[in-house]
Amino acid sequence: IDMVYLVLKVLPDDSRESQTARVLLYKPFYDQTGKGFTQFLLNLFRSFDTHKQPKSDLADLLGIIHIMLQLVE
C-alpha cells in the first residue's frame, strides 16, 4: 500500500501508473461486503495479541489504517 500511495504522490495524475495505482487503492472502498478490506483491517486490529505478535506488526497495521483513512478524506 505504501508503494502505491507513493506512486500517486510522485507521478503526474495523467500517467498510466497513477491511474493503475488509484484503482488499486480505491478498490477496497468499493468492496464493503463482510469480507471487504476495511473489515479485514478492523478484524486484524481487534484480534491483535501482544503476547503472540511483535509490536512491529501493530505499527505496520496502524500505518496501513492511517493511509486508508487519509484516502477517505
CB under 8 Å to 15, separation ≥6 — which residues? none
Count of the separate structural domains present in the chain: 1
C-alpha cell belonging to residue 43:
478484524
Q: Which residues constitute the domain of residue 35?
A: 2-72
Q: What is the pLDDT along the chain (73 residues), one digit of tens a residue?
A: 677 778 878 888 888 888 888 777 776 666 665 566 777 888 888 999 989 999 999 998 898 888 877 776 6
Which pLDDT does position 41 carry in this prediction? 83
Which pLDDT does position 65 carry in this prediction? 85
Which pLDDT does position 52 carry in this prediction? 92
Which pLDDT does position 28 carry in this prediction? 64
Q: Which helix (H) or strand (E) holds 4?
A: helix 2-10
